[in-house]
Amino acid sequence: MARLAGSGLFGDHVIYERPGQWVFAAAPLGAIELDTDQVQVTTAGHQTTRGWTGRPVAALARALESLRVGCGEGASGTAYGWIGFESCAYTLDAQQYLSGGTKLAHLMIPRMEVTVTDAEVTVNGASTAELVAIEELLGAPAGPPPMGHPTDISADPSGYRERVAAAVAEIAAGRYQKVILSRRVELPFRVDIPASYRLGRMHNTPARSFLLRLGDLAAAGFSPELVVSVDDDGVVTTEPLAGTRAFGRGAVADLAARDSLESDPKEIMEHAVSVRTSFAEMVSIAEPGSSAVADFMAVRERGSVQHLASTVRGRLGGDRTSWDALEALFPSVTASGIPKRAAVDAIFRHDEPRGLYSGAVVTVSANGSMEATLVLRAVYQSGGAAWLRAGAGIIGQSSPEREFEETCEKLGSVAPYLVRAT
């Protein structure tokens, strides 16, 4: 996958890994770009730009339907792309924090898909010349893994500890129960995103992974959880993770950290309230009586950290669509807070604009099935800037120093595996 992305032969692209399957989707037939002012639909080099009102997911659903018609028969497959955190402002009464032109989403329909499983490689939509190039790229020896570039993640120019302390004070005053605050780490070098994806994936155990280059944004990450999936039968799944300890420091230290995680009242409370919120959101879009929690407070290992994790499922109700499920469950409660409206307000006040961070990489099939995976543990690059970002869940019992340490633990899933661009 990294070799296909790094070849530069296929234009904008998205790599998406789900259990047992990798897809390289490239050479867009058309694309949708949504910002606070307008939605732009591009097909065959022709652009249509118009204003929009209402909810971002509804605007995207309408635009995708239009795009599929404009792209013709080749657009019958899956759309790929991303939805930014700021799109939640429209459903959570935080639009006053958005500036004009803020990017909210970018989706594309690929002409070409390369799908790799344990059993086979399938190529759809490629020209004869592209097929030859793909065979050469996939058939070449793997070669040694690239070398990571040392990266300092200990600096705190954003005043993270002070922002955590301010949030703890607001929680004590009863303004909200929990909020996820993050910090951005600027990188002093340009990153080889495909090579970093390859090296990072060798050292991570994500729920999903992704690499994308759409327009001027490139990113690669190792997502720890699903925001939402809706399968062909209408089963809706979300996987809230909350509660964190370091992992990968040796068997004895990892077991001690796990024991601490499973017995720490702060971590247990943080997870329980997150699951309660996810369950309530599931109930709002599911058939009555179909919502349930499974694997409550299981421990899942995700790269350099381990989390408390649960699974919440339901069956899509009545006239609801996968877009309704996404709207109800986005942003992930584990990347926003509780209650969501007040927590998102705090995020807009205390955090820098997030963009793709804590948003979702999305796949949407023509029949309406969908996956939206949470964008965390990722590296981002746009224009002349490259950066990392990580956050921690703040509750009344939070210590600013411990929450800063947690961001370092999470950054450890990506920072050691960044490959400097040459």
Residues tagged active-site: 225
Label each residue of the chain as H, E or C: CHHHHHCCCCCCEEEEEECCEEEEEEEEEEEEEEECCCEEEEECCEEEEECCCCCHHHHHHHHHHHHHHHHHHHHCCCEEEEECHHHHHHCCCCHHHCCCCCEEEEEEEEEEEEEECCCCEEEECCCHHHHHHHHHHHHCCCCCCCCCCCCCCCCCCCCHHHHHHHHHHHHHCCCCCEEEEEEEEECCCCECHHHHHHHHHHCCCCCEEEEEEECCEEEEEEECCEEEEECCCCEEEECCEEEEEECCCCHHHHHHHHHHHHHCHHHHHHHHHHHHHHHHHHHHHECCCCCEEEEEEEEEEECCEEEEEEEEEEEECCCCCHHHHHHHHCCCHHHCEECHHHHHHHHHHHCCCCCCCCCEEEEECCCCCEEEEECCCEEEEECCEEEEEEEEEECCCCCHHHHHHHHHHHHCCCHHHCCECC
